[in-house]
Structure 1
């Protein structure tokens, strides 16, 4: 899970280093990843059987949202920076509970209601809407695109969650279908945003794009999908905070991106809202309270004394 979060954080850096326009980057990221995922998905199919028709449809629908996420997020990276855009995309932790409330009528927790205003204020500071210092003309547009990416990300997670709720059908096949769907979606959107520009991409840019596809799409999602099943909710929620923090640090160290005072405060509020929405501290208290003296002396899987 930690390695998956690190790969996602590195993705934003690779996008900036590649220097290719948003639509082309999104399409190539997914297309290259599909080439790597297809043989893995076929191997999973031979061992565990193929996806059901419903599983394929859910994965395709999720991929449409993922394609929108990738194009908007990549464009946001060029406007507000790799670190800030990765912070903004984490509004998905707000989008997912909202969709669960509206569609599945799941109850909204008190921590979600606390996190929502923190997230909105933080986003406003990052984008210069609520400003302490000048952030530049592109900040508002970059923030809006980052929010659109976060909504797409949240929809992707929601549809993936619904598609795997009734029956676990593996991780490779759904990811392959969703990635292929994201590639097609990105290619369609590209026709309305200036088209694809596949010529003139230098060898160094191709190297970064291939690394983006393999690390940011294949490796990251496989690690996260597998890791989230094996970890307790406390650890999963805590590791979710690592991605935006790592992105800010890496963007400063590698790309030299500097935040204004308002953006730094806003980014901190967004990270805090993510922590509150995931109930990190509350979950930790529950984990410690659930431990009984002598637990560490019992072998794993042994019955309580």
Structure 2
């Protein structure tokens, strides 16, 4: 029996909302970028290990090529986390979040250039609305440039967006049939090592941040890394590239709502309008671009990529 086309949409949507908790928990931990990035990844591994072992025992073994690409994706994820956390202090939360979510443009462009996928006409029409909604949600038009170093923060946020886009592209490019949990475990292990090494050289790294900060980072690992990104890894390869990118815009919307509830950061009228635009646009893109189940019960790619017979990540 073919799987319902709504399931990968639901998985990616719930995953994006899980990822939205990461910003709040990292902020509450009050740790350095290197410390936060390391512990949010390393604390996820004990939860992923039993699932990875069960997956391997059932016959799903990850290949050396898949392992290498997963490690690359992990390095990109760590670089994004490090740069994004640094940018928050330099340019402000709103503008850094907007710049990082340029992935909604970058990831589909990567798919077009590398995998020769085509984008739906509706996505191209709605894209300006998505961008406008993201800017409004971030509060850019109200706060302007904030933080201690706006220029440096903008550079760090743009670099974070590039790393984030590369990570998302590799994450979805692995396809729905790869050994998912083993691949994701390698991503987390690679990200933890990269964050510790780079963090110790840039921004500082604290191997013993204390029980309070460690508790917030453990919540980040559970909600963001295990439940959040694992669900995104399950759902996004089964969706058109623009659908997955649009659904991930639920992350800044969710972060804004969490800030209002947990930190008393009540969104402005323009931010609420931005949320409405993002949610409405994500729904329209998703509704127009769901894949039909193929004859094997899987999901059709818009265009098969013979140049990449072995999927990875």
The TM-score normalised by the length of structure 1 is: 0.74
Q: Which digits, 9 at most, give the CA deviation of each residue in 1:110-142, with x for residues without a partner?
A: 4555566666667778596xx565542445544
Q: Which moved more, 1:210-219 or 1:97-106?
A: 97-106
Distance in 1 separating the partners of 2:120 and 2:50: 41
Q: Does 1:37 align with 2:48?
A: yes
SS in 2 for 1:196: coil
Deviation readout 1:150-208 (Å, 9 max, x if unpaired): 3222111212233337xx12311010011111112212321331331224x23211111
1:50 maps to which of 61, 65, 68:
61
2:146 aligned residue: 136
Q: Where does 1:1-305 land on structure 2 (aligned, <5 Å)? A: 1=11, 2-79=13-90, 85-111=96-122, 113-114=124-125, 134-138=144-148, 139=150, 141-164=152-175, 168-199=177-208, 201-228=209-236, 239-257=247-265, 264=271, 268=274, 272=277, 276=281, 280-281=283-284, 283-284=286-287
Q: Which runs of 5+ in 2 are unaligned?
A: 1-10, 293-313
Task: Give the 3 Å change call, closer, same or farther, for CA 102–223 of structure 1 in structure 2.
Answer: closer
Query: How far off is 1:268 after superposition?
Result: 2.3
Evaluate the alpha carbon distance shift between residue 66 and residue 202 of structure 1 in structure 2; reply closer, same or farther with a 3 A threshold. same
**2-structure distance, mates of 1:240, 1:153:** 12
- Calculate the aligned-residue CA RMSD, in Å: 3.7
Alpha-carbon separation, structure 1, partners of 2:199 and 2:139: 25
Range that drifts further, 98-107 or 253-262: 253-262
Counterparts in 2 of 1:115 and 1:285: CA distance versus 1, 3 Å: closer
Find the aligned partners of 1:146 and 1:82 in 2 and give their Cα distance: 10
5+ residue gaps, structure 1: 291-305
Q: How far apart are 1:217 and its partner, in Å?
A: 0.5
Count of aligned pairs: 278
**1:127–1:142 contact (8 Å) kept in structure 2:** no
Asked if the contact 2:92/2:146 (under 8 Å) is kept, the reply is no
Structure 2-normalised TM-score? Answer: 0.72
